[in-house]
């Protein structure tokens, strides 16, 4: 047992050294073992050998299913999203992915669901970007790791919408763009975000343009719960922006989102 543990530690140390994991301070990379497990470290090392990843930095965010880290690529800053296989909320993922017609043949096992979820987020980001929605550009999805464009500058991520102080005019500007992005998602990408709120929208401080993130749960319009998810997104956006005096009914906003502009 002791020999096996020592062997495991050596393998972790080797993989980490090969990837040049940088620790900026004592708290910046304190993550659970279930994030940087052996298979994930091997996968990161493989991505580094392919020239996609040069160095891992500190933690950006910790969610229910995944941790996001800053990283360096050969030409630009990157975000590395690592879905935790051991502690992901499997049942929540299952509800979104098993009814998605794009993933009908996925085996009902936790590892397979997490890997499919990672691919699903990458595919959703591609569809959203191609439709004209500002999202992080996905670089590669490999097992439980999604590498994408870092939305920020000099290792500082863009703030979440909920943390940005706005006047009424600025809020209206952002609201109008969000509504247009929701429309483009629906009419051009054939997607519903399915978890849209002030917690999943970043704001670029340079021009106050919104960026949609966390699209792993996004579903196609063929999903049996797409209408319910859209209604929830609509209510979330209306609830948040009502504090700035923006008032529309859910029916009015839904009509805007479904409008196909020719």
CA atoms within 13 A of residue 224's CA, in its CB half-sphere = 4
**Catalytic site residue 214?**
yes
Tokens, residue 160: 């979440």
Distance, CA of 180 to CA of 133 (rounded, Å):
8
Residue identified by tokens 């569809």 is 127
Residue pair 202/211 in contact by the 8 Å Cβ criterion = yes
Instruction: State the CB neighbour count (10 A cutoff) for residue 106.
Output: 18
CA angle 262, 260, 251 (to 5 degrees): 145
Q: Which listed residue (13, 25, 37, 195) is catalytic?
A: 195
Q: Which listed residue (94, 112, 204, 214) is catalytic?
A: 214
Residue identified by tokens 């970043």 is 202
**Catalytic site residue 112?**
no
DSSP assignment letter at 260: -
Concatenated DSSP letters of 51-63: TS--EEEEEEEE-
Residue pair 213/203 in contact by the 8 Å Cβ criterion = no
Q: What is the CA radius of gyration of the chain?
A: 19
- So which residues are the catalytic ones? 195, 214
């Amino acid at each position: 047992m002791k020999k096996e543990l020592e062997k495991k530690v050596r393998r972790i140390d080797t993989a980490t050294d090969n990837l040049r994991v940088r620790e900026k301070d004592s708290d910046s990379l304190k993550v659970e073992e279930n994030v940087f497990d052996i298979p994930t470290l091997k996968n990161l090392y493989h991505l580094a050998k392919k020239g996609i990843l040069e160095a891992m930095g500190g933690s950006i965010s910790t969610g229910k299913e995944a941790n996001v880290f800053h990283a360096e690529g050969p030409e630009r800053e990157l975000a590395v999203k690592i879905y935790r296989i051991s502690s992901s909320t499997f049942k929540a993922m299952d509800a979104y992915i098993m009814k998605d017609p794009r993933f009908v043949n996925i085996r009902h096992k936790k590892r397979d669901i997490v890997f499919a979820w990672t691919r699903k987020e990458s595919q959703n980001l591609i569809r959203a970007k191609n439709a004209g929605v500002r999202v992080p550009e996905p670089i590669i999805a490999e097992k439980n790791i999604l590498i994408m464009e870092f939305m920020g500058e000099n290792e500082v991520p863009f703030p979440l919408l909920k943390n940005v102080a706005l006047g009424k005019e600025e809020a209206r500007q952002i609201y109008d763009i969000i509504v247009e992005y929701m429309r483009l998602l629906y009419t051009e990408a054939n997607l519903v975000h399915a978890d849209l709120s002030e917690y999943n929208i970043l704001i670029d401080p340079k021009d106050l343009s919104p960026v949609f993130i966390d699209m792993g749960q996004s579903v196609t319009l063929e999903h049996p719960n797409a209408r319910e998810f859209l209604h929830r997104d609509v209510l979330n956006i209306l609830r948040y922006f009502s504090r700035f005096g923006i008032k529309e009914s859910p029916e009015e906003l839904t009509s805007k989102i479904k409008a196909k502009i020719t």
